Amino acid sequence: MQSIIDMENEYVAHCYKPLPVVIERGQGIFVWDIEGKRYIDCMSAYSALSHGHCHPELVATLAAQAHKLTLTSRAFHSPALGPFIKYACELTGLAGGCPMNTGAEAVEVAVKFARKWAYEVKGVPDNQAEIIVCNNNFHGRTTTVISFSSEPKYKEHFGPLTPGFIRINYGDAQALANAITKNTAALIIEPIQGEAGILVPPAGYLHECAKICKKNNVLFIADEIQTGLGRTGKFLACEHENVQPDAVLLGKALGGGLLPVSLFLANKEIMTVFTPGTHGSTFGGNELACTIGHKALKIIVNDKLSENSAVLGDFLMQRLSNIKTPLITHLRGKGLFVGIEINPKYCTARDVCLALMANGLLSKETHETVVRLAPPLIINRQQIEDVCEIITTTFNELTTK
Ligand SMILES: *Cc1c(COP(=O)(O)O)cnc(C)c1O
């Protein structure tokens, strides 16, 4: 195990700080390390594994399609793209989409669509468009996307950065109203801030933001890359407040845990600003990705994964709040998207993750003090009990040491 970790350290860019475990195999909510030890995966690859590891239907679909056709580039047509985007539109109440690969690319496309829409539809003078984002946002790691991050580590010495972004405090609708000018193109917002530590905004906030955007002819663009596809107990997290965004970004679980698949989805007025030549991606919309993406969406709907997330998320939260430990200062989240705030007087969130790992549960800290619980959405009630038992045991060990 150590030799694998050593080789990775020797040759691979050091932009992550993984837990010291080498995972060799996965099935459903479980993974096994190379020594055969089993863990429950409560990390789900930052929610990209909502269907669980190696979902049999998805793997079968992948294999069959891989034998038939994988990639044409969009120089030609292929049969899976249209039905995939049509289905995604039906599920999100939007009119069309631009297929990409990673989440950050979908965000890049959102920036391009929003700016072009501002110049060509709203009438903002060229090069003056402003996009509003929130403090503590996470939208990905490309140069433009880090330009509007508030996290110094994400952007230090990566400049010069892309201008045209205004940051406001998350959770404060008045701040949005104050920041809007005649040149504002869009608000790009996470319905729950995942990487910031599963920060749930005050009730009514998203609804209020959407109202302010509508009144000022500003696009409300929801980055649902992590919160979407059932993670928070609704298909889109915006549905908790009956908000219909002008555009939605999907990624992560859209690839069923097998492939990078992302989408920018929007209403008709926005979609019309892209014309041949204005954007492109060699792999975006490839036949294999569209087949998997379509199947991944169907499984979420047919297997009622959003409903499972809602019901078991409530159950998980209730069980966690019954754990008597001084280690937890705060619990927050929606559905199976939960953040446990750890009392720094006892230990760091990473210490907790290492101790959980020793007891057969994998998670990852976000920042110093938050442990994220985001198991695959296929998890069942008994397995949630098992998760809570491991957490209880681990927290007892950590406080009696
Ligand atoms: C993960 C994430 C992204 C970036 O997705 P990548 O596939 O890592 O590029 C963007 N927005 C949100 C909200 C995310 O959680």
pLDDT at position 206 over 90: yes
Owner of token pair 């996009």: 131
Mutate to test the pocket of ligand 1, among 102, 139, 146 (most ligand atoms within 8 A of CB): 139
Is 37 an active-site residue? Answer: no
- Say if strands 219-223 and 338-342 run parallel, antiparallel, or are unpaired: unpaired
Cα-Cα-Cα-Cα dihedral sign, residues 325, 367, 247, 219: positive
Q: How far apart are CA 321 and CA 62, in angstroms?
A: 40
Cα separation, 369 vs 236, in Å, equals 27
On whether the CB atoms of residues 190 and 137 are closer than 8 A, the answer is: yes
pLDDT score of 367 = 86
Question: Which residues' Cβ are closer than 6 Å to ligand 1?
Answer: 46, 102-104, 107, 138-140, 190, 194-195, 223, 225-226, 251-252
Mean pLDDT of 111-137: 98
68 CA distance to ligand 1 middle (Å): 30
What does DSSP say about strands 165-168 and 38-41: parallel, antiparallel, or unpaired? unpaired
- Both tokens assigned to 111: 């920036």
Residue 376, token pair as written in the block: 């695959």
User: Average model confidence (pLDDT) for the chain?
Assistant: 97
The stretch 120-136 carries a mean pLDDT of 98
pLDDT digits (tens, 9 = 90+) for 286-296: 999 999 999 99
* Residue 91 pLDDT grade (very low, low, confident, very high; cuts 50, 70, 90): very high
Q: Please check whether residue 58 is in contact with residue 295, taking contact to mean a CB–CB distance below 8 angstroms.
A: yes
CA distance 235 to 184: 29
Domain 2-55+304-399 is of which CATH architecture?
A: Alpha-Beta Complex (3.90)
Helix (H, G, I), strand (E, B) or coil at 328: strand
Mean pLDDT calculated for residue range 239-259 = 98
- Flag whether the pTM goes above 0.95: yes
The share of the chain scoring above pLDDT 70, in percent, equals: 100
Q: How far is CA 177 from CA 87, 162, 209, 254, in A?
A: 34, 23, 8, 33
Three-class SS of residue 161? coil
**DSSP label at 336?**
S
Using the CB atoms, write b or e for 132-152: b if 16+ within 10 Å. bbbbbbbbbeeebbbbbbbee
| pLDDT at residue 400, as a whole number | 85
Q: What is the model's pLDDT at position 230?
A: 98
Preceding amide of 160 cis, omega within 30: yes
Do 2-55+304-399 and 57-302 share a fold?
no
Q: Which two tokens stand for residue 156?
A: 């230090």
- Does residue 159 register a pLDDT over 80? yes
Ligand 1 center from residue 235 Cα (angstroms): 17
Q: What is the DSSP letter of 362?
A: E
- pLDDT of res. 257: 98
Residue 401 has pLDDT above 70, yes or no: no
6 is catalytic: no
Q: Which ligand 1 atom is nearest residue 260's CA?
A: 7
Encode pLDDT of 182-199 as tens digits: 999 999 999 999 999 999
pLDDT of residue 1: 87
Tens-place pLDDT, residues 6-48: 999 999 999 999 999 999 999 999 999 999 999 999 999 999 9
Q: Residue of the nearest CA to atom 12 in ligand 1?
A: 139
For this structure, is 138 an active site residue?
A: yes
Across residues 314-341, what is the average pLDDT? 97
Alpha carbon separation from 85 to 28, 93, 226, 370 (Å, rounded)? 27, 12, 19, 36
Element (H, E) at 224: none
CA of 172 to the centre of ligand 1 (A): 23
In sequence order, the β-bridge partners of residue 328 are: 342
Tokens 């919309």 sit on residue: 285
Q: Return the domain boundaries, the chain.
A: 2-55+304-399, 57-302
Ligand 1 test: best mutation among 133, 226, 262, most atoms within 8 Å of CB?
226
pLDDT score for 90: 98
Pocket test for ligand 1, best of 252, 258, 372 (most atoms within 8 A of CB): 252
Round to whole Å and give the CA distance between 286 and 263.
12
pLDDT at 6: 96
Which regions of 125-281 does DSSP assign to beta strands (E)? 130-134, 165-168, 184-189, 219-223, 247-250, 262-266
CATH topology of domain 57-302: Aspartate Aminotransferase; domain 2 (3.40.640)
